[in-house]
Structure 1
Amino acid sequence: MVPSLPEIPTSGPWSVEATVPACLVGLHGLGSDQDGLARIGLSIENGRIAAIGPAGEVPGALTAGMAFPTFVELHTHLDKGHIWPRRRNPDGTFFGALDNVTLDREANWSASDVTARMDFALRCAYAHGTSAIRTHLDSIGKQIGISWPVFTEIREKWADRIELQAVALFSIEHVSDRAHMSEVTAAVRDHDGIMGGVTYMVPELDQNLDTLFRLAADNGLDLDLHVDETQDPASRSLRHIAEAALRHRFAGQVTVGHCCSLARQDGEEIRQTIGKVAEAGIAVVSLPMCNMYLQDRSSGRTPRSRGVTLLHELKAAGVKVSVSSDNTRDPFYAYGDLDALEVFREASRIAHFDHPFGDWPAAITATPASVMGVDAGRLRVGGSADFVLFKARSWTELLSRPQSDRVVVRKGRVIDTTLPDYEELDGVLAE
């Protein structure tokens, strides 16, 4: 029988059969086909997964196509989201984005503005099937005192739907400013956040990395850094970060995003850098859609580079690798809707996650969940019944269409997947 999207009961226990990526199921001995998929039965009781077994073992089970655990976004910018109608990027370049976000932040990012746009973005992510998000927050000047309290309020409001984490975002040069770092550190500590920063090749890079690692260690904070978001092969701050983590014997989790220039370097530099990243236990997150949009862009010239880092090589070395949305509808990326399935679909095409897919589905589920330290991204007995059902039966069906008819199940019950209307933001974005 051809699977369809089932009518799920609104109360009482129920069960469903679906095809799942075997790497995302906590069941020993589960077989899979050549595409890494397995057909299983899930039994749901009291909002949790009561049992998992091979298909055909649960009488009366509903039938679906494929199922994923809810998605996990490791790298986003909720504070920037959806400002494109108000502040465009005229040439689509990285520096055009940087300049226009700065202008918009200084003119418009009040508490009410940031709150409205963050909440809109989270409603999109929730409807698409995401249950955990890490966002970077611009932490410069007056914005520190605006965005961090807003984030804490939003996190409390969304606590039973999306688990949220925040990272302080500022340029590596700001680390030399003691007053700035004191204010940032206090905000991160007071709001249970993560220390961050943007690194590139400046003369004081190693000195400031030492300061940053000491600050994080002294305050019991993890680190999450924007790294080498450029096509310049001479940009090698990733290696410096790995060396600093090893030098300080840093016990916290270090996560790095972008790392675009690694793909432009020579073989020996790549080998040594990846080796140090793996030794230091650093996790890497690539932002394939945003980086393809920004990197190697020049008017009238076809881009030559995809802008993604060496995910296959990093993963082969034992590095935890993830993919994520990054920016949505702002000068850094004019598109996107915090739909993690779109991220995986595009990453599969851009970075060749296919043939075979293997355990690449973990890059948008289980792996970022482990980096964030949240209980999400896997289907396991006793875990919350949080998953997404699709009519699609195979990878080629799943990744060929947007899957707008997906069914999102949270705590064992179907949620409303109606997306918020962009018209809601018209008043917020009015100049």
Structure 2
Amino acid sequence: MPKPLDIPADGRWSVEATVPACLVSQPLATIDQDGLARIRLTVADGRIEAIEAADGPAAGMVLPCFVELHTHLDKGHIWPRRRNPDGTFFGALDNVTLDRETHWSAADVTARMDFSLRCAHAHGTSAIRTHLDSIGKQIGISWPVFAEMREKWAGRIELQAVALFSIEHVSDRAHLSDVSAALRAHDGILGGVTYMVPELDQNLDTLFRLAADNGFDLDFHVDETQDPTARSLAHIAEAALRHRFAGQITVGHCCSLARQEEDEVKATVAKVAEAGIAVVSLPMCNLYLQDRVPGRTPRSRGVTLLHELKAAGVAVAVSSDNTRDPFYAYGDLDALEVFREATRTIHLDHPFGDWPKAVTATPAAVMGVDAGRLRVGGSADFVLFRARSWTELLSRPQSDRVVVRKGRAIDTTLPDYDELDAVLLGSQASSLLLPSD
């Protein structure tokens, strides 16, 4: 397989590799039991010139660049200064709130967001949707920062943002006015965290009307709990049908769906499918937070029912969610890691089928961006791996991957964490550094 130095900066070159057939925009003649086909992919002047069947040995595997549908770039990497004391959801919520109220200046959010985007870019991601905490003064801080990041990263990572706040805030007209102004100014998406409160349906109606009147899409955090009585997913689907909402609706988490009785699950899934709602699961974060009880092994995986939703015709995706913050202490915005862990956790194999779309073509379609597939004439944006099969790809971190953007191999060196020391730790940073030899 070509190494970065072997790929010319300009001109025409090709590679023979395996590829998930579901991620190629043209039919392929021979597909193996794992959904892989052998191709010769030719690049010329930054675009894919040809995708042809190949009979020889594959030099590796090729995937289109990844698409992350659900992240939190404004929270990323605050763990060194604000840990989760017990690994619970409420431990995360309380400590993120404290950190936001104390530290989230424009400079702080800018530094951490840019660091996160550099990681995602090096791993091979070309589009990201982030949720932004949109409460009080933070609306006027994080949205302008996001706008700057979107301009800075244009042509490398396409960025979208969702306003995030609790469903109770919908009753505050001044808050909704501020959020709406930010979304109109920055082409944002209307969101919210939904759970079972008395005013749920009333506030959902308000959000749906606001979205319809302003042309906003909707993206909700939904039922992030093990409580089977958490049923706001069904309420969202009912609101979508009631309002005949024409925009895109996305919901994330939906953990409680996996804890409900089968008849209730079938009814809710049917409503979600009828309403055309897309569902994104966050397997790594949900495994970390859900069903965590001290001294007790978790009984639930915390992920939603992706197989059942997909079988009903619902668009489903998986994504990173949080990165090194109180909601998830780990992660690096590596969508391959997300797919690897989702495969193990949710059983996206035997067969793999078209599950590779969950981190590529499906989230791209939900976001409305031209990404996530390999097509002749399209931009040559893809990732090359030495692995030739799924078992090879998902058994190692693939840290030697080659990321190609517009036909050129990019620098995949990841930023060092110590770059954030001054931002996160201030005067404490020097005392935490290891002594030199």
What TM-score, normalized by structure 2, do the two folds share?
0.96
* SS of alignment partner, residue 64 of structure 1: coil
**Counterparts of 1:201 and 1:63, CA distance in 2:** 52
Which residue number corresponds to residue 122 of structure 2?
A: 127
1:53 corresponds in structure 2 to 52
Contact 1:282 1:320 in 2 (8 A): yes
Contact 2:131 2:162 in 1 (8 A): yes
| Offset from partner CA, 1:134-164 (integer Å, 9 cap, x none) | 0000000000000000000000000010000
C-alpha distance in 1, partners of 2:241/2:157? 33
Out of 226, 246, 258, the residue aligned to residue 241 of structure 2 is 246
For residues 15-58 of structure 1, the C-alpha deviation after alignment (integer angstroms, 9 at most, x for no partner) is 1111000000011244310000000111111100011110159x
Aligned to 2:209: 214
Once residues 3 and 340 of structure 2 are traced to their aligned partners in structure 1, the CA distance between those partners, rounded to angstroms, is: 20
Contact 1:43 1:50 in 2 (8 A): yes
The letter for the 2-side match of 1:90 is: P
Q: How far apart are the structure 2 equivalents of 1:251 and 1:217?
A: 8
Contact kept in structure 2, 1:31 and 1:38, CA below 8 Å: yes
Unaligned stretches of 5+ residues in structure 2:
427-437
Aligned partner letter, 1:134: R
Alignment of 1:269-280 (within 5 A): 269-280=264-275
- CA contact 2:18–2:38 (8 Å) conserved in 1: yes
Deviation at 1:64, TM superposition (A): 2.8
Which residue is equivalent to 1:89? Answer: 84
Number of aligned residues: 425
1:74 and 1:314 mapped to 2: Cα distance?
Answer: 17
Structure 1 counterpart SS, 2:42:
strand
Inter-partner Cα distance in structure 1 for 2:193 and 2:158: 24
Distance in structure 2 (CA, Å) of the matches to 1:64 and 1:138? 44
Q: Could you tell me which amino acid in structure 1 is paired with residue 304 of structure 2?
A: T
Corresponding residue number in structure 1 for 2:414: 419
Paired residue type of 2:422: G
* Equivalent residue, structure 1, for 2:20: 21
Q: Does 1:258 align with 2:257?
A: no
Shift of 1:269: 0.5
Runs of 4+ residues over 4 Å off in structure 1:
3-6
**SS state at 2:26 partner:** coil
Indicate the residue corresponding to 1:376 in structure 2: 371
* Cα root mean square deviation, aligned: 1.2
The answer to whether the Cα contact below 8 Å between 2:17 and 2:58 also exists between their aligned partners in 1 is yes
Offset at residue 5 of structure 1 (A) = 5.0
Q: 1:223 aligns with which of 218, 221, 224?
A: 218
Answer yes or no: is the 8 Å Cα contact 2:58–2:388 preserved in 1.
no
Deviations 1:228-273 (A, max 9, x none): 0000000000000000000000000000000000000001100000
* Equivalent residue runs for 1:156-305 within 5 Å: 156-305=151-300
Distance across 2 between alignment mates of 1:9 and 1:184: 47
1:298-352 CA distance string (max 9 Å, x none)? 1111000000000000000000000000000000000000000000000000000
Q: Say whether the 8 Å CA contact 2:73–2:130 is kept in structure 1.
A: yes
Q: CA deviation at 1:4?
A: 7.1
* CA offset digits 1:197-255 (Å, max 9, x no partner): 00000000000000000000000000000000000000000000000000000000000
Secondary structure at the residue paired with 1:198?
A: strand
Look up the SS of the partner of 2:82 in the other structure. coil
Alpha-carbon distance in 2 for matches of 1:153, 1:30: 45
Following superposition of structure 1 onto structure 2, how do residues 35-74 of structure 1 map, counting pairs within 5 Å? 35-56=34-55, 64-74=59-69
> Unpaired segments of 5 or more residues in structure 1?
none
TM-score (norm 1): 0.97
Q: CA 1:5–1:116 in 2, change beyond 3 Å: closer, same or farther?
A: same
What does 1:400-411 align with in structure 2 at a 5 Å threshold? 400-411=395-406
CA contact (8 A) 1:4 1:63 kept: no
Secondary structure at the counterpart of residue 366 of structure 2 = helix
Shift in Å, 1:119:
0.2
| 1:408 alignment partner, SS class | strand
Whether the 8 Å contact between 2:382 and 2:405 is mirrored in structure 1 is yes
Contact 1:64 1:389 in 2 (8 A): no
Match of residue 347 from structure 1: 342
- Secondary structure of 1:304's counterpart equals coil
Q: Tell me the distance in 2 between the aligned counterparts of 1:192 and 1:414.
A: 31
> Could you tell me how far apart the structure 2 residues matched to 1:30 and 1:254 are?
36
Q: 1:106 aligns with which of 77, 96, 101?
A: 101
CA contact (8 A) 1:5 1:64 kept: no
Kindly provide the CA deviation profile for residues 396-421 of structure 1, in whole angstroms up to 9, marking residues without a partner as x.
11000000000000000000000000
Q: Which letter does structure 2 place at the counterpart of 1:75? A: H
Contact 1:5 1:389 in 2 (8 A): no
Q: Is the 8 A contact 1:296 1:303 kept in 2?
A: yes
* Partner SS for 2:62: strand
Is 1:34 aligned to residue 33 of structure 2?
yes
Q: Which residue of 1 aligns with 2:324?
A: 329
* Overall identity of the aligned pairs, in %: 82
Asked if the contact 2:13/2:43 (under 8 Å) is kept, the reply is yes
Distance in 1 between the 2:8 and 2:53 partners?
22
